[in-house]
Structure 1
Amino acid sequence: MELSPLLRGAGLGASLIMAIGAQNAFVLRQGLLRAHVPLVVGVCVAGDVLLIAAGVAGMGQLITKLPWLVLVTTWCGAAYVAWFGVTSLLRALRPARAALEAAGGREASSGRALRTALALTFLNPHVYLDTVVLLGSVAAREGGHGAPLFGAGAAVASCAWFSSLGFGARYLAPLFARPLAWRILDGIIGLVMLALAVSLLV
């Protein structure tokens, strides 16, 4: 029996969203800190839903016709992801900061968390290429009522993933009760972010 457009959208959306990236790393970290989790999850979900809707509406064709927009977004995104990576590596080298986080300290204001979530959502060109162009082009093949259902499936997958990642991270708290665990996590996040920045430019 053929899968419905809703399930196909959820499957493809989940496969794209669950890949390791700057956005997921930030949501996981905020979830472990239990800092501004509803705000961060809400921004990521709302951003994904907005971009998915744009793709289903046909905005992907516009993006492919404006290569300068992709180029500008790529450079801005690479710069921001690189900065995020460097700050993560610096945190990994600071035992005092790791001890504070292991003790449940809060490292950022809600305004800073909001700005970071927005930047990691909208300054990443992969988000546009995957969500708007790829999902949009696949949704267009569904035709008729299939395209909105496909987009709805992808949106549900996004909501489920970010909610699970952000709110479910607290169950890993015992593992991160030691400063060393935070230093390892920040080191891994920093290296992943720098690798992403290089891949964006290359």
Structure 2
Amino acid sequence: MPTALDPLATLAGFGFGLSLIVAIGAQNAFVLRQGLLRRHVFAVVAICALSDALLIAIGISGVGLAIDRVPVLMTVVRIGGAAFLTVYGILAARRALRPSALAPEADRTFAGLGATILTCLALTWLNPHVYLDTIVLLGSVANSHGDARWLFGLGAGIASIVWFAALGYGARLLRPVFARPLAWRILDGIIALVMFAIAVSLILGI
């Protein structure tokens, strides 16, 4: 059985954490777009990473079992998340379909720090998949490491920091590609599809 000082637990947590968050989703799409726009990147990365850390800690502490036994909570979050993602998807689709909204300078949607923070929090905390991945799934796997469960959680938390920082700050490397309006149209079209797909999956309970 792993001990409380087992460094392999941290490495395992890092790998498992990356496997859960490295995927096309609402949160990652938002971080990428903010990184490309160079708007409030630090705040967005910090919110995503700290939220993950809190959710991981909650899962390891055993709260995930309680949440799993109260399905009404997940239902409420699922409906609210689906509604928000639908609205966000509509806005992304409008940007993709309207030439006047393609340029990042012309897009003032969620441009302010306050609006950006609220949007990031909503995309993070109104998505039931986040709870299932971090609190329920990751929490269960972490607790299987016995006394080393918090080291496993530490590794998963580090993975979140590395991923979101790389996504947010690394997005600037794609700026030459997004110098063309067509690239923004394609990106916003993909974001709209992702938001709509996740919203539908939440409504259907997938």
Query: TM-score range with shorter-chain normalisation?
Result: over 0.9
Q: How does 1:122-137 map to 2 (within 5 A)?
A: 122-137=125-140
1:21 and 2:21 aligned: no
Alpha carbons of structure 1 residues 185 and 69: separation in structure 2 relative to 1, 3 Å = same
For each residue in 1:63-113, what CA deviation from the matched residue of structure 2 results, as whole angstroms up to 9, or x when unmatched? 1111100110111111111111111001101111213x1x58654111110
Matches within 5 A, 1:1-202: 4-99=8-103, 101=104, 107=109, 108-144=111-147, 146-202=148-204
Once residues 105 and 192 of structure 1 are traced to their aligned partners in structure 2, the CA distance between those partners, rounded to angstroms, is 20
Structure 1 distance, partners of 2:79, 2:124, is 15
State the Cα RMSD in Å.
Answer: 1.5
Q: Aligned equivalents of 1:87 and 1:76: distance in 2?
A: 17
Deviation at 1:4, TM superposition (A): 1.1
Output the CA distance in 2 between the equivalents of 1:157 and 1:72. 29
* Aligned-pair CA distance for 1:3: 8.0
Whichever residue aligns with residue 93 of structure 1, its letter is L
Runs of 4+ in 1 over 3 A off after TM superposition: 103-107
Q: Any idea what SS the aligned residue of 1:35 has?
A: coil
Q: Is the Cα contact below 8 Å between 2:65 and 2:136 reproduced in 1?
A: yes
Q: Aligned equivalents of 1:24 and 1:147: distance in 2?
A: 26
Greater displacement, 41-50 / 104-113: 104-113
Q: Is the 8 A contact 1:33 1:104 kept in 2?
A: no
TM-score by length of 2: 0.93
How far did residue 151 of structure 1 move?
0.2
DSSP 3-state at the match of 2:86 = helix
In structure 1, the gaps of 5 or more residues are none
Assess if the C-alpha contact under 8 Å between 1:11 and 1:154 holds in 2.
Answer: yes
SS of corresponding position for 1:4: helix
